[in-house]
């Protein structure tokens, strides 16, 4: 029923849009002179879909399938022909001329393309590091809110996963398989030269002109102690020639496909299970379950009840202008997304104004201002059992009613204790709808610079950048709902308010001098120094016990929660010197050396400065005569680089010993303040050091119709910041130290091919990356560190799943007798685990038990493939991205395969072991014996929890149609429709999203040692959209 409604509403929606669009297209108007003609490529093949514009007017058209066009022009005019993949050609029309035939040249494959690199730009041809660029224009119309979503599947060596479907959140970006124990693995995002400290997910993607990803040490070392995770350089839109106004909008509907959801028992199946449970235990069946068929037609799908079909809309208006000595670009955006979980609402209003002024021939000034407002109300969907309502909904008894007889949402469901209902369940639909969990963020990024060119070749530039962020979090849990299990409703109403203010400023002073001798020896020297400071202040107030839920003020609360009320300050500063020398001989032999020295407040007082050098060389082989004999090879370059970079995400005050002075005691009835030394000081604490080597080959074949890039890299990360566990006989749990070594290596391939040109234009962009790591050393005397369900062990890859190997169940008394058992717990029908240490029994815990490595959260390879087609005015693009060979830990099974019938269960539990005569499928064991028996299979991590999470997702399919100029209405327009997350091909059975990867609870490491856990996060919806772009 639900499905039908969904489909219907989509149909209605689609038809409305089509009608609107048709009405919108005005009829053609009159003109003075008609020109006809044909556009073809150099090979004479007609080109369809070429845009033909009359320069200086808004008039234009496109060529038809045969390459023909017709256009009305004034007597003297210039026709401008342009087509993606081909150059632009301007043809003057003489008076009386009626036919213009044009041959367009293919783009001389972007070798003259200028690429943004750290602290400057470089010709693509002359780059010696591993710098990856994307054709951002092609990704423009992907209907998502985050830049990183658009980049999925586009970049070799960059794994981008959407770990949760929450709007505006949850993108995990890992460059070259980066992992760290505690120091964070996210790349550094630099917007217009300013390393931001806020959330890149909130940036309006329409503000972006260009993105470069710096992967190797040679290209990142100018970012020194922040470079080890890779750097993403984002350049925002600048004023371009003429005045261009464009408006783009899309609207769509999102839904969570049925396929891929966890298959849970229905009410009847659940009641049947409970009946059998008591029968097998030889206990009387509780009256509620004596007749399972009474629940026929009374199923309650709690998970589905939380979901809805939800709309999203985006509007962007952009103006760029270039007048004499001033260039301006304005982008205003509105993004509005309702989440597929009820009551989830995400809105973004953003504006960016970039201006540049030529004050004189020698002096230039520029100012960028980008204010933004983001509102986000998100139900507490994600989290482990008891905390995330999606997880809670999964395992709630389906016999518990969502709505009562009057159609009202129930408050709270609890069956009598005699039914084995241990946990009381609040109504999760209320939890989603009635809890307020909203964050409003206002931020402003601004850049100002002045540039002075005193003599030819020398540029002095001083920049001042400020980022201000205010975020306001408000949480209110009314008395009528809760997101936690086993909390009776009505509950204690709680409010939390948290205000955070961040201020970051950065001053950079750079000098660049470039000089060329005889056009053969080309030098560029960069030198500069920078200062950056960050300060965050936060205030949190928590209050509870409200007289009236309608007044969730602080003063309306009866109690202020002391432990939840506090303020905090986080601050860091960074002073740096940097320099780079670039030299090439005839653009053929290339050399670059760079160095940065960082002084950071985060480092211990005896280890304050770190220096990060790099060098790289390149050889454009295709410029050598012996290669030029092979005309098939249009371009070939070999690159090699080596450098040292750092990771300074070690926390702000980690090197200090801290006192906790709230460890209070009581004497009699008097509270007395108590103070405890909670950590040990380390004056030598420093950054993590990564030494990276990269070898690359860039190849263009057949007039660059085939372009190939290959990179091999190795990275050695040492001095990993780790809170080394120490025996607690010392009174401390951990000691912050730089220890250990991880070695990474990998291969990256990307291939762009123009399969067909001409009438049908088809290009394919394929990339694949293989990343590996191995732990070389941990702290002295420590060969392993345990995570939640994981082990990080010397000689093995980082953070592997660690547990028992399940072999099925003990089928009968003989099997039990002849097999190793868990002493005192194994019975006939209980889970049979493998005796790995050969001691004849199964034990769990300690270093010498029966656990082994049973899987890895790291893929063997990741890949992406994008196909773009163009035929006439139509364009089609299909973007796919995939991952192979990684596993996920299906966390919900510890509830949904809890054989004590405490929670609702996955359907498969119906086929459990019941007796030697009725052994089921051999996967789930007997229910007899209670937790002492069944606890083994849910509480002891074992291979049943591990699922293959390889996937290939068609991320996006877009079909577009471009219309040329329509009189004065607009220069050109494009209509398109797209499906985001169209199809997922996967064997993964643990939930709808094989890309998910939460961290386990963590062991003082923020969970980095415990990656790859599926906590039944917010599902990623499929989105159907219609959009239009208008250029005026």
Partner 1 sequence: MKKILIISIILGFTQTSCKENFLTIVPETALSSATFFNKEADFQQAVNAAYVPLRSIVNDRAYLLGEMHSDNTYYYRNILFGATEQQEDIADFAVPTANGVTSNTHVLNNYRLDYQIIARANQILSQIDKVEFNADSKNNLKGQAMLLRAYAYLELVQYFGKVPLHLTPVTVRQDAALPLSTVDEVYAQIIKDATQASTFLLPKSKQEAGRVTSGSAKTLLANVYIVQKKWAEAEKVARDVVTSGEYGLMIGYENAFSTNTANKNNQESIFEVQFLEGSDGLNGSIIYNFLPRPMSPEELKPITGTSNPQPLTGEGNNAPTPDIIAAYETGDLRKDASIAVVTLSGSLRANKVFPYIKKFAKTHTLHGNTGNNWPIYRYSEVLLYLAEALTEQNKVSEAAPFLNQVRTRAGLKASKAVSQTEMRNAIYQERRVELAFENKRWFDLIRTGRAIDVITAYGNRIKANPVDYYYPEGAIPRSNAFTNISLLYGLPADEAALTPYF
Q: Give residue 253's Cα distance to chain centre.
A: 21
Q: Is the dihedral of CA 906, 908, 912, 917 positive or negative?
A: positive
Q: Which residues of 965-990 are buried (b: 16+ CB within 10 A; e: fewer)?
A: bbbeebbbbbbbbbbbbbebebebbb
State the minimum distance, in angstroms, from the CB of residue 385 to partner 1: 13
- State which of residues 457, 599, 885, 1002 lies at the interface with partner 1 (CB under 8 A): 599
Q: Give one word for 96, left, alpha or beta, with left for phi > 0 and alpha for psi -120 to 50.
A: left
- State which of residues 571, 623, 741, 815 lies at the interface with partner 1 (CB under 8 A): 571
Q: Does residue 359 touch partner 1 according to CB under 8 A? A: yes
Q: Could you give the angle at the alpha carbon of 595 between the alpha carbons of 594 and 597, nearest 5°? A: 160
Q: Which residue, 545 or 703, is less far from partner 1 as judged by CB?
A: 545
Which residues lie below 8 Å from residue 326, measured CB to CB, with a gap of 6+? 239, 355, 356, 357, 358
Q: Does residue 563 touch partner 1 according to CB under 8 A? A: yes
Q: Which residue, 148 or 419, is less far from partner 1 as judged by CB?
A: 419
- State which of residues 34, 559, 628, 915 lies at the interface with partner 1 (CB under 8 A): 559
Contact pattern from residue 73 through residue 112 relative to partner 1, giving x for each residue in contact according to CB under 8 A and a dash for the rest: ----------------------------------------
Q: Which two tokens stand for residue 847?
A: 């270093």
Q: Does residue 607 touch partner 1 according to CB under 8 A? A: no
Phi/psi of residue 450, each to 5°? Answer: -130, 135
CA 826 to CA 641: how far, in whole Å?
58
Q: Does residue 846 touch partner 1 according to CB under 8 A? A: yes
Q: Could you give the angle at the alpha carbon of 379 between the alpha carbons of 375 and 383, nearest 5°? A: 120
Tally of CB atoms within 10 A around 925 = 30
Q: Which two tokens stand for residue 846?
A: 């300690």
Determine which helix (DSSP H) or strand (DSSP E) holds 628, and give its type and residue range.
helix 625-628
Contact pattern from residue 794 through residue 813 relative to partner 1, giving x for each residue in contact according to CB under 8 A and a dash for the rest: --------------------
Q: Which residue, 308 or 938, is less far from partner 1 as judged by CB?
A: 938
Distances in whole angstroms, Cα of residue 707 to Cα of each of 105, 111, 697, 751: 18, 11, 11, 6
β-pair type (458-477, 436-452): antiparallel
Q: Which residue, 299 or 410, is less far from partner 1 as judged by CB?
A: 410
Bridge partners of 887, per DSSP, are 948
CA 461 to CA 507: how far, in whole Å?
11
Q: Which residue, 57 or 573, is less far from partner 1 as judged by CB?
A: 573
- State which of residues 23, 99, 405, 417 lies at the interface with partner 1 (CB under 8 A): 417
Bridge partners of 855, per DSSP, are 801
Which residues lie below 8 Å from residue 324, measured CB to CB, with a gap of 6+? none
Determine which helix (DSSP H) or strand (DSSP E) holds 260, and give its type and residue range.
none
Scan for tokens 């979503």, then name that residue. Answer: 149
Q: Does residue 908 touch partner 1 according to CB under 8 A? A: no
- State which of residues 420, 587, 885, 1004 lies at the interface with partner 1 (CB under 8 A): 420
Choose the binding region for partner 1 from 252-260, 722-730, 793-801, 1015-1023 (rule: CB under 8 A): 722-730
Q: Which residue, 29 or 554, is less far from partner 1 as judged by CB?
A: 554
Q: Does residue 44 touch partner 1 according to CB under 8 A? A: no
Mapped onto helix, strand or coil, the DSSP state of residue 907 is helix
Scan residues 297-356 and list those touching partner 1 (CB under 8 A). none
Q: Does residue 825 touch partner 1 according to CB under 8 A? A: yes
State the minimum distance, in angstroms, from the CB of residue 946 to partner 1: 21
- State which of residues 56, 242, 416, 795 lies at the interface with partner 1 (CB under 8 A): 416
For the chain, what is the radius of gyration of the CA atoms?
Answer: 32
- State which of residues 929, 964, 994, 1012 lies at the interface with partner 1 (CB under 8 A): 929
Q: Which residue, 450 or 760, is less far from partner 1 as judged by CB?
A: 450
Q: Does residue 605 touch partner 1 according to CB under 8 A? A: yes
Q: Which residues of 657-672 are buried (b: 16+ CB within 10 A; e: fewer)?
A: eeeeeeeeeeeeeeee
Q: Which residue, 592 or 600, is less far from partner 1 as judged by CB?
A: 600
State the minimum distance, in angstroms, from the CB of residue 464 to partner 1: 8
Q: Which residue, 654 or 1029, is less far from partner 1 as judged by CB?
A: 654
- State which of residues 34, 121, 291, 418 lies at the interface with partner 1 (CB under 8 A): 418
CA 486 to CA 482: how far, in whole Å?
9
Q: Which two tokens stand for residue 314?
A: 């985006």
Scan residues 501-520 and list those touching partner 1 (CB under 8 A). 507, 509
Q: Which two tokens stand for residue 992?
A: 């709808």
State the minimum distance, in angstroms, from the CB of residue 442 to partner 1: 24
Q: Which residue, 123 or 676, is less far from partner 1 as judged by CB?
A: 676
Q: Does residue 724 touch partner 1 according to CB under 8 A? A: yes
Q: Does residue 840 touch partner 1 according to CB under 8 A? A: no
Scan residues 233-262 and list those touching partner 1 (CB under 8 A). none
Q: Which residue, 415 or 863, is less far from partner 1 as judged by CB?
A: 415
State the minimum distance, in angstroms, from the CB of residue 209 to partner 1: 27
Q: Does residue 462 touch partner 1 according to CB under 8 A? A: yes
Q: Give residue 261's Cα distance to chain centre.
A: 22
Tally of CB atoms within 10 A around 345 = 16
Q: Does residue 33 touch partner 1 according to CB under 8 A? A: no
- State which of residues 68, 601, 716, 834 lies at the interface with partner 1 (CB under 8 A): 601
- State which of residues 556, 604, 935, 1002 lies at the interface with partner 1 (CB under 8 A): 935
170, 144 Cβ separation under 8 angstroms = no
Burial of 751 (0-12, 13-18, 19+ CB in 10 A): middle
Scan residues 885-904 and list those touching partner 1 (CB under 8 A). 900, 902
Q: Does residue 922 touch partner 1 according to CB under 8 A? A: no
Tally of CB atoms within 10 A around 28 = 12
- State which of residues 14, 45, 460, 695 lies at the interface with partner 1 (CB under 8 A): 460
Scan for tokens 């070939």, then name that residue. Answer: 636
Q: Does residue 433 touch partner 1 according to CB under 8 A? A: no
482, 431 Cβ separation under 8 angstroms = yes
Q: Which residue, 929 or 964, is less far from partner 1 as judged by CB?
A: 929
State the minimum distance, in angstroms, from the CB of residue 450 to partner 1: 6
- State which of residues 13, 349, 475, 529 lies at the interface with partner 1 (CB under 8 A): 529
Q: Which residue, 786 or 923, is less far from partner 1 as judged by CB?
A: 786
User: How many residues form the binding site for partner 1 (CB under 8 A)?
Assistant: 102
Q: Which residues in 418-457 belong to E strands, given as ranges?
A: 425-426, 436-452
Q: Which two tokens stand for residue 913?
A: 């072991």
Q: Does residue 14 touch partner 1 according to CB under 8 A? A: no
Mapped onto helix, strand or coil, the DSSP state of residue 169 is coil
State the minimum distance, in angstroms, from the CB of residue 701 to partner 1: 48
CA 612 to CA 220: how far, in whole Å?
10
Q: Which residue, 110 or 387, is less far from partner 1 as judged by CB?
A: 387
Scan residues 646-665 and list those touching partner 1 (CB under 8 A). 652-653, 656-661, 663-665
444, 468 Cβ separation under 8 angstroms = yes
β-pair type (231-236, 188-191): parallel
Choose the binding region for partner 1 from 115-123, 397-405, 767-775, 823-831 (rule: CB under 8 A): 823-831
Q: Which residue, 27 or 669, is less far from partner 1 as judged by CB?
A: 669
Scan residues 730-789 and list those touching partner 1 (CB under 8 A). 730-732, 735, 737, 779, 781-782
State the minimum distance, in angstroms, from the CB of residue 757 to partner 1: 50
Contact pattern from residue 665 through residue 704 relative to partner 1, giving x for each residue in contact according to CB under 8 A and a dash for the rest: xxxxxxxxxxxxx--xx-----------------------
Scan for tokens 């029994």, then name that residue. Answer: 841
Give the side-chain half-sphere CA count within 13 A for 76: 0
State the minimum distance, in angstroms, from the CB of residue 696 to partner 1: 36
Q: Which two tokens stand for residue 722?
A: 């780790």
CA 101 to CA 544: how far, in whole Å?
78
């Amino acid at each position: 029923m639900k499905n039908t409604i969904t489909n219907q509403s989509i149909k209605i929606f689609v038809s409305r849009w089509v009608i609107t669009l048709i009405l919108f297209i005005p009829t053609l108007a009159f003109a003075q002179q008609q020109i006809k003609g044909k556009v073809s490529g150099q090979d004479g093949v007609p080109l369809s879909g070429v845009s033909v514009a009359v320069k200086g007017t808004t008039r234009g058209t496109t060529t038809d399938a045969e390459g023909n066009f017709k256009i009305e022009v004034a007597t003297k005019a210039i026709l401008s022909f342009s087509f993606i993949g081909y150059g632009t050609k301007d043809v003057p029309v003489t008076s009386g001329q009626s036919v213009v035939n044009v041959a367009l040249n293919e783009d001389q494959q972007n070798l003259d393309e200028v690429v943004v690199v750290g602290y400057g730009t470089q010709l693509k041809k002359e780059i010696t590091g591993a710098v990856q660029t994307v054709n951002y224009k092609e990704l423009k119309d992907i209907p998502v809110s985050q830049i990183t979503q658009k980049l999925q599947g586009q970049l070799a060596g960059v794994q981008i996963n959407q770990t949760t479907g929450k709007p505006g959140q949850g993108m995990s970006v890992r460059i070259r398989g980066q992992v760290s124990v505690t120091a964070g693995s996210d790349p550094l995002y630099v917007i217009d030269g300013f390393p931001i400290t806020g959330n890149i997910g909130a940036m309006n993607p329409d503000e972006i002109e260009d993105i470069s990803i710096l992967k190797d040490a040679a290209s990142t070392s100018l970012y020194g102690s922040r470079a080890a995770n890779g750097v993403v350089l984002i350049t925002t839109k600048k004023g371009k020639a003429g005045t261009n106004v464009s408006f783009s909008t899309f609207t769509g509907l999102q839904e969570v496909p049925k396929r891929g959801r966890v298959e849970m028992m229905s009410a009847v199946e659940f009641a049947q299970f409970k009946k059998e449970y008591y029968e097998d235990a030889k206990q009387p069946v509780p009256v509620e379950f004596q007749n399972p068929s009474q629940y026929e037609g009374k199923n309650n799908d709690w998970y589905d009840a939380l979901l809805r079909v939800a709309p999203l809309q985006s509007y962007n208006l952009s103006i760029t202008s270039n007048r004499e000595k001033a260039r301006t670009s304005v982008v205003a955006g509105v993004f509005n997304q309702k989440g597929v979980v009820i009551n989830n609402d995400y809105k973004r209003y953003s504006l960016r104004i970039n201006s540049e002024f030529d004050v004189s021939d020698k002096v230039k000034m520029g100012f960028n201002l980008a204010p933004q407002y983001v509102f986000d109300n998100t139900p507490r969907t994600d989290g482990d059992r008891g905390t995330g309502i999606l997880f809670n909904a999964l395992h709630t008894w389906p016999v518990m009613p969502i709505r009562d007889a009057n159609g009202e949402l129930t408050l709270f469901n609890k069956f009598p204790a005699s039914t084995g209902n241990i946990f009381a369940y609040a109504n999760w639909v209320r939890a989603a709808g009635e809890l307020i969990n909203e964050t409003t963020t206002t931020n402003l990024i601004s850049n100002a610079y002045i540039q002075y060119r005193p003599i030819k070749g020398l540029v002095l530039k001083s920049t001042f950048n400020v980022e201000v962020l205010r975020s306001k979090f408000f949480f209110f849990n009314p008395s009528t709902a809760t997101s936690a299990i086993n909390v009776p409703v009505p509950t204690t109403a709680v409010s939390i308010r948290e205000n955070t203010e961040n201020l970051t400023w950065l001053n950079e002073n750079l000098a660049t001098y470039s000089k060329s001798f005889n056009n053969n020896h080309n030098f560029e020297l960069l030198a500069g120094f920078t200062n950056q400071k960050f300060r965050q202040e936060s205030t949190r107030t928590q209050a509870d016990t409200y007289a009236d839920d309608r007044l969730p003020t602080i003063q309306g609360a009866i109690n202020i929660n002391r432990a939840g009320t506090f303020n905090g300050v986080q601050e860091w500063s960074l002073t740096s010197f940097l320099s780079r020398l670039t030299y090439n001989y005839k653009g053929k032999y290339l050399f670059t050396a760079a160095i940065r020295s960082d002084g950071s407040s985060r480092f211990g007082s005896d280890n304050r400065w770190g220096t990060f050098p790099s060098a790289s060389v390149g050889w454009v082989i295709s410029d050598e005569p012996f290669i030029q004999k092979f005309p098939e090879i249009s371009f070939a370059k070999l690159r090699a680089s080596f450098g040292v970079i750092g990771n300074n995400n070690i926390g702000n005050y980690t090197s200090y010993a801290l006192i906790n002075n709230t460890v209070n005691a009581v004497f009699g009835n008097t509270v007395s303040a108590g103070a405890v030394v909670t950590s040990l000081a380390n004056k030598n604490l420093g950054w993590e050091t990564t030494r990276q080597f990269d070898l690359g080959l860039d190849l263009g074949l057949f007039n660059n119709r085939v372009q190939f890039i290959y990179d091999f890299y190795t990275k050695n990360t040492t001095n990993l910041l780790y809170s080394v566990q120490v025996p607690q006989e010392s009174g401390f749990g951990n000691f912050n130290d730089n220890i250990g070594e991880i070695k990474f290596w990998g291969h990256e391939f990307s291939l762009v091919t123009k399969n067909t040109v001409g009438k049908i234009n088809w290009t394919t962009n394929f990339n694949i990356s293989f990343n590996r790591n191995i732990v070389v050393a941990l702290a002295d005397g420590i060969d392993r560190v345990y995570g939640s369900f994981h082990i990080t062990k010397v000689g093995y890859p980082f953070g592997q799943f660690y547990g028992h190997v399940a072999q099925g169940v003990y089928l009968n008394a003989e099997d039990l007798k002849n097999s190793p058992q868990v002493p005192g717990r194994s019975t006939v029908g209980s889970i049979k685990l493998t005796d790995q240490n050969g001691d004849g029994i199964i034990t769990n815990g300690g270093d010498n038990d029966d656990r082994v490595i049973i899987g890895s959260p790291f893929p063997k390879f990741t890949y992406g493939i994008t196909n773009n087609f163009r035929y006439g005015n139509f364009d089609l693009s299909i973007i796919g991205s995939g991952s192979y060979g990684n596993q996920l830990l299906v966390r919900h099974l510890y509830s949904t395969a809890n054989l004590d019938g405490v929670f609702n269960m996955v359907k498969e539990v119906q086929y459990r072991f019941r007796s030697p005569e009725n052994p089921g499928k051999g996967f789930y064991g007997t229910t007899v014996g209670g937790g002492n028996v069944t606890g083994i299979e849910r509480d002891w991590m074992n291979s049943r929890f591990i699922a293959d999470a390889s996937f290939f997702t068609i991320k996006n399919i877009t079909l577009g149609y471009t219309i040329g100029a329509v009189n004065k209405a607009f220069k050109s327009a494009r209509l398109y429709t797209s499906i985001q997350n169209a199809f997922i091909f996967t064997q993964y059975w643990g939930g709808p999203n094989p890309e998910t990867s939460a961290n386990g609870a963590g062991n003082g490491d923020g969970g980095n040692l415990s990656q790859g856990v599926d906590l039944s996060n917010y599902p990623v919806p499929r989105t159907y959209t219609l959009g239009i772009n208008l250029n005026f």
